[in-house]
Amino acid sequence: MILVTGGAGFIGSNFVLDWLAQSDEPVVNLDALTYAGNRANLAALDGDARHTFVHGDICDRALVDSLLATHRPRAIVHFAAESHVDRSIHGPGAFMKTNVDGTFTLLEAARAHWATLPDGEKAAFRFHHVSTDEVYGSLGPTDPPFAETNPYEPNSPYSASKAASDHLVRAWHHTYGLPVTTSNCSNNYGPYHFPEKLIPLLIVNSLAGKPLPVYGDGQQIRDWLYVTDHCAGIRAVLAGGKLGETYNIGGWNEKANIDIVKTVCALLDELRPDPAGPYSRLITYVTDRPGHDRRYAIDARKIERELGWRPAETFDTGIRKTVQWYLEHADWVANVQSGAYKDWVNTNYADRVG
C-alpha cells in the first residue's frame, strides 16, 4: 500500500493511473479537490478495489494520522501542492498554506507513524517529495542546466514555497532520520493538464477561436517533460533512490515558449483544421508577468547514471499525443472550464493585452 497526496491533480492522477496499470499494489489517494483537482481524472478507477480515494486536506493532521494508522502505507508520494506561478502572484497565501504548512504537517505525521513501525517496515518506509526546477531560479542563455547541486534562488511566491518545502524535507531527514527522497522536475505536459497552463490553454483557446496569449517576446525557455516519463522517474527514485538524495527529472527538451505555440498550432492545423485559417493567426503578445524566469533546463544525468531512467518520449511524440488527447476528450475539457476557471482567465489576462 502507498499513500499518494494530490492524486487527483494533473501529475498525481497520471501517477496513480500509471502505478495501477503496472502494479497491483493498492493506492490511498488523498486530495483536497481544489480547482485543479478533478475526480474525473480517475474515472477509469471507479469500482477498482486497489484505489481508495479520500477527500481531505494535507493540513488536517488528524486525518493524515488516521490514514497512516488505518492503511499503514510503506511509502508516501507527496504531490499535493499549489503549482501555478501566475496564481501565486495574485494570491500567495494559499501557496504558503499548502506547500509549506501542508508539507510540514505531512512530515510530522509521517515521522510519528514511522517511529511506531517494526524494524523491517521502518527500514523499508519512504517519503518521496515531488518538487520543481523553479526552486533553482533562472538560467542565462549559455549557463549549464540545473544540477542537483545548484543553489536555490526562487523568484516567485510559488517557487519560494516549493523551495521551503524542499528544505523542510531535507531537514526532517538530517534531524530526525526520516527516510526521504526528493525529485525536482521540469515543465510537465500531457493528459489531464488543467487548462490554465501553457499547452492546454493553447489547445482549448485555439479550438474556441480565442487569442493565444504569449508573455513578452515569447523567448522564455523551458525543458518539457511528458508526464508519464515523469511518473516513471518517480517510480525509479522510490524503488532505488538513495535516502536523503535529490534527483532532477527532465525531458532533455529545451524549447522557447513561442516555438511551443507554433508547434501546437501546426498540429491543430493538421489534426483539426479551422476553415477560418491557420491557428497561428490567433497568437497575441501580452504584457509579461512579474519576475518571469527566462530559462529553465534540467541536467538529468544523475538519475540516468544511478537509476537507469531516461525519458521515453521526445517532444515531437509527446506533444502529438497530448494534442490528440485533448481533441478526443472534449467533455473533460468542458467540465473543467467552470465559472471559476473563466473568472481566473479574466483576472490573469484581461489587463495584459496591449
Identify which has the larger pLDDT, 343 or 134: 134
Q: Which three cell numbers stand for residue 280?
A: 497561428
pTM of the model: 0.92
- Computed over every residue of the chain, the mean pLDDT equals 93
- Let me know: does 29 contact 42? Beta carbons within 8 Å: yes
Mean pLDDT score, 2-25:
97
List, by residue number, the catalytic residues: 133-134, 158
Mean pLDDT of 18-28: 97
Over residues 281-304, the mean pLDDT reads 89
C-alpha separations of 102 from 23, 42, 162, 302 in Å? 28, 23, 11, 29
CB 180 within 8 A of CB 243: yes
pLDDT of residue 86 exceeding 60: yes
Average pLDDT over residues 243-261: 97
Q: Which fold has domain 2-189+225-252+293-313?
A: Rossmann fold (3.40.50)
* Mean pLDDT, range 273-294, rounded to an integer: 89
> Got the DSSP string for 311-350?
-S--HHHHHHHHHHHHHH-HHHHHHH--HHHHHHHHHHHT
